[in-house]
Structure 1
Amino acid sequence: MANLFVIADYGTSSVVIGLHARDMAGAKRAISWQRQGGFKMPMYICRYEPENQVFVSIASEDKTFHQEAGKRFSPERGAFTESAWLDFWRSLNPMREGTPLWYFFKSYTGAALWSSSDDDGTPLDNGRDDSDIAPETLAQMQQDCERFYWANSEHIHCDGAPVANDMDGSIAARESAMAGHDFWLTRCGHGAGFWDGDWPEPAATALDNAAKAFGNVDLYVGDDGQIYA
């Protein structure tokens, strides 16, 4: 089964060798090709753990590729283009309930509803939820969340990242929920967000700048009762 990845370990950072999964034979060939090309850094055959969003080395009985099992890697983008890197992470982490990305998205839409009002000044979360958001608007919100999350995940899950305290879940899920909430508030210029002191530097500034680059969004209720942007 093609569910393995080769990670090159540079000590202070790591990169993935090729943005596609391999079977064991393919992973070993990839390492052999890198060795023939003169690359001497440690390389590990890994499986991806979506619940933790890390690559974890597996045991190998092949003496040629003997490696330590259980090493964990969060590789950098390296020489890959931003769009290719985003597509890679999307393929590894489809939007599904319970993942950190899902918590990010749900918190984002929640913040969007409670911070927006209808023509009568009633908050949009009063008697409504994200099922009332028009499909095309919800799809655009999801796309924005995916783009922001995967471009900034190292800052969202940095050391000292704040966590949402009004929910259960893993640390990664609660960090993601906090970030989704602050992404909406920051991009729309509300009185709180990544800049208000909860996030450590340099993550706070990086996330603040990235969110503002997405620009403001205004929500409204259409004649059909659905919520549009």
Structure 2
Amino acid sequence: MNPTLAALLSTILFSTSDDEGNPLDDRFTISDVCAIDAKRLYAEYQQFLTKVETKIKEKIGDNWNSIDEFYDIAFPSENQTEHDYILTRNQHGAGFWDGDWNKNVSEILSDAAHSQIPIEAYEGRDGKVYLY
């Protein structure tokens, strides 16, 4: 599985509780998530990245020597980006704005994540985890 998608799904499972208040990752793994829903989530994340890239470049300027350096400045850790994207999008009280990110970048990321509807994860009758 794509590492980006795996990080997104892992965050959803650990940050979502079942009806008894237990995290979904107590009973499910990322392979239990409906493949169609996982693909849709990945596409939404890619749209999010596309949306923020230009805004971030405008905000922080051309103060980097390569695209890799830009991503190191804008996105300090790939898995942290996916993690904070889910937490911010679902308004969990943590995420891009809680201090780990450059302030200019965190505002752009938070606004873009909040512009997407929160993700609901639930167990289907077939034992799969569905999103939305």
Which residue of 39, 48, 71 maps to 1:148?
A: 48
Partner Cα separation in structure 2 for residue 161 and residue 145 of structure 1: 14
Contact 1:103-1:176 at 8 Å conserved across structures: no
List structure 1 segments (4+ residues) > 4 angstroms apart after TM superposition. 153-156
Given the alignment of the two structures, is residue 222 of structure 1 paired with residue 117 of structure 2, yes or no?
no
Given the alignment of the two structures, is residue 137 of structure 1 paired with residue 51 of structure 2, yes or no?
no
Counterpart mapping for 1:38-117 below 5 A: 102-117=2-17
Higher helix content, 1 or 2: 2
Residue of structure 2 equivalent to 1:119? 19
Which residue of 91, 95, 98 maps to 1:193?
A: 95
Given the alignment of the two structures, is residue 183 of structure 1 paired with residue 97 of structure 2, yes or no?
no
Identity %: 31
1:186 Cα deviation from its structure 2 partner: 0.2
Partner Cα separation in structure 2 for residue 224 and residue 185 of structure 1: 27
Q: What TM-score, normalized by structure 2, do the two folds share?
A: 0.78
Residue of structure 2 equivalent to 1:159? 73
Partner Cα separation in structure 1 for residue 49 and residue 74 of structure 2: 17
Q: 1:160 to 1:220 in 2, by over 3 A?
A: closer
1:106 Cα deviation from its structure 2 partner: 1.9
Q: 1:112 to 1:210 in 2, by over 3 A?
A: same
Higher strand content, 1 or 2: 1
Matching residue's letter, 2:31: S
What are the ranges of 5 or more consecutive residues in structure 1 without an aligned counterpart?
1-96, 163-174
What SS class does the counterpart of residue 137 from structure 1 fall into?
A: helix
Contact 2:10-2:29 at 8 Å conserved across structures: yes
- Superposed CA RMSD in Å reads 2.0
What SS class does the counterpart of residue 180 from structure 1 fall into?
A: helix
Task: Look at both structures and tell me which one has the larger radius of gyration over its CA atoms.
Answer: 1
Count of residue pairs brought into register by the alignment: 117
Task: List per-residue Cα deviations over 1:197-226 (Å, max 9, x = no partner).
Answer: 110021110000000001211111011111
